[in-house]
Amino acid sequence: MSDELLNLKDVKKYFGLRGAPWRKAQSVRAVDGVNLVVRKGETVGLVGESGSGKSTLARVATRLLDPTQGRVEIGGTDVTRLRGRRLRPIRRQIQMVFQDPQASLNPRQSVGTILSTPYRAQGIRPTRAQLVELLEQVGLAEQHLERYPHEFSGGQRQRIGIARALAMKPGLLVCDEPVSALDVSVQAQVLNLLADLRDELGLSYVLVAHDLAVVRQVADRIAVMYLGTIVEEGPAAQVYEAPAHPYTKALLSAVPVPEPGVSRDRIVLTGDVPTPINPPSGCPFRTRCYKAEDVCATERPVLEPVQGSTEHRAACYFPEPPTSERKQ
C-alpha cells in the first residue's frame, strides 16, 4: 500500500441554485477542479478566505458531500461512488473535527454517549476503558464521562470533539477551523494537543483555517485556495517566506503582526472575492490582482513548479521571482 492517505483528483463540487423556473439554472462552483494528496504523517494546511471552497473541499474529502466530478481516493481505494454500508470501513480511516464544538456535540447526550457513537456506528460496543483512554488522550479524565457538554468550557468541548474523532483510530483527521471559536490562550492549548497527538499516534491532518498564523504553527505543507481552486501549494516554510502567487503574497501581507512600530509592505487588495456563481474567465484572482494583464483573462493558469522546486507550485502567469532575485 502506498503512503497516500488521501488523494483528490480534479475534484469539483457545484451546488445547484434553485431559481425561478424560466431562468437559466445556475450553480455555485464551490470547488472547481482541485488535486490534493495527503501522505502519511504530514499536516496539510488548507487556507483561504470565506467562499474559497476550503470547507466544502474538506467535506468532499471526508465523503460528507458527494463530489460533482472527480475522484476521491482514501487509503488507495477509490471511494467516490461508495455509499452507505460500503463506506463504513472507509470512515474508520478518515474522521472530521468541526469548528464549533457547541454545535457538533449533542447537548442531551453525556460525554460517554457521544464518545461511543462512532463505535456503535461501526457495530461495536465500546468498553468503559476504551472511552476513558480516549478522554485521557485529549487531556480529560474518567470523571468527565458522565457529564454533559454544557458543563465544559469551549476548549474542553473541542477536546471532546477531537476524542470522538480519534475513536476509530483514523490515520487522517480533517479539522475544519478547529480553534477559531476559542480564546487565544485556549487556542494554543488545542494546537499543542494536535501536535502531541500527531507525534504520539502518527496522525496526519488536513487543517482548514482562515487564520494563517494558526496554520503556520502546525502545517508542513500549505495549499492556498481562491474561488474553488488551489492557487499555490508547497512546503510551509517556502510558501510563507517566499510566496509565489500574488494572492498568497497579499494575503500574508494583510495579516497584522504583533510588533508595534514595525511597518510592513502591505498589499491592500481592492474589492471582494467575486461570486463563485459566475467566476472570472481565466485566472480567478485577476480581477483583484495587481499584476494582471490581458493574458490572465484567457485561460486558467495551472499549478506549475516555482523556482525549479517540484514541491512548491503556483498557478500564475507572473509568479513572484525567487527570493534571491528580489530587491531588498
Partner 1 sequence: MAEPVLEVHDLHVTFSTEGGLVPAVDGIDFAVAPGETLAIVGESGSGKSVSSAAVMGLLPSNADVTGEVLLDGRELIGLPNDELRKIRGNDIAMVFQDALSALNPYYSVGWQVAEAYRLHHDVSKKKAHQRAIEMLDKVGIPDAARRADGYPHEFSGGMRQRVVIAMALVNDPRVLIADEPTTALDVTVQAQIMQLLEDVQAEFGTAMVLISHDLGVVAEVADDVLVMYAGRAAERGTVRDLFYRAAHPYSLGLLGAMPRVDVPPKLRLTTIPGSPPTPGSITTGCAFQPRCAYTDRVGERCITERPELTPRPGEGDHEAACHLGRRPSDV
Residues that bind partner 1 (CB under 8 A): 49-50, 153-156, 183-189, 191-192, 195, 210-214, 216-218, 236-237, 240, 250-252, 254-261, 266, 268-270, 272-273
Quote the CA–CA distance of 56 and 37 in Å, as a whole number.
16
In the complex with partner 1, the residue whose CB is nearer, 31 or 273, is 273
CB of 232 to partner 1, least distance (A): 15
Print burial letters for 77-94: b (CB count within 10 Å at least 16), e (below 16).
eebbebeeeeeeebbbbb
CB of 182 to partner 1, least distance (A): 9
Quote the CA–CA distance of 161 and 169 in Å, as a whole number.
14
In the complex with partner 1, the residue whose CB is nearer, 33 or 274, is 274
172: helix, strand or coil? strand
Residue given cell 477559531 in the structure block: 180
Q: How far apart are the first and last CA of the chain?
A: 47
In the complex with partner 1, the residue whose CB is nearer, 66 or 272, is 272
38: helix, strand or coil? strand
In the complex with partner 1, the residue whose CB is nearer, 123 or 256, is 256
In the complex with partner 1, the residue whose CB is nearer, 89 or 139, is 139
Quote the CA–CA distance of 179 and 214 in Å, as a whole number.
8
CB of 254 to partner 1, least distance (A): 4
In the complex with partner 1, the residue whose CB is nearer, 90 or 267, is 267
CB of 288 to partner 1, least distance (A): 8
CB of 106 to partner 1, least distance (A): 22
CB of 153 to partner 1, least distance (A): 4
23: helix, strand or coil? coil
CA contacts within 13 A on the Cβ side of 100: 4
How far, rounded to the nearest angstrom, does the alpha carbon of residue 302 sit from its chain's CA centroid? 21
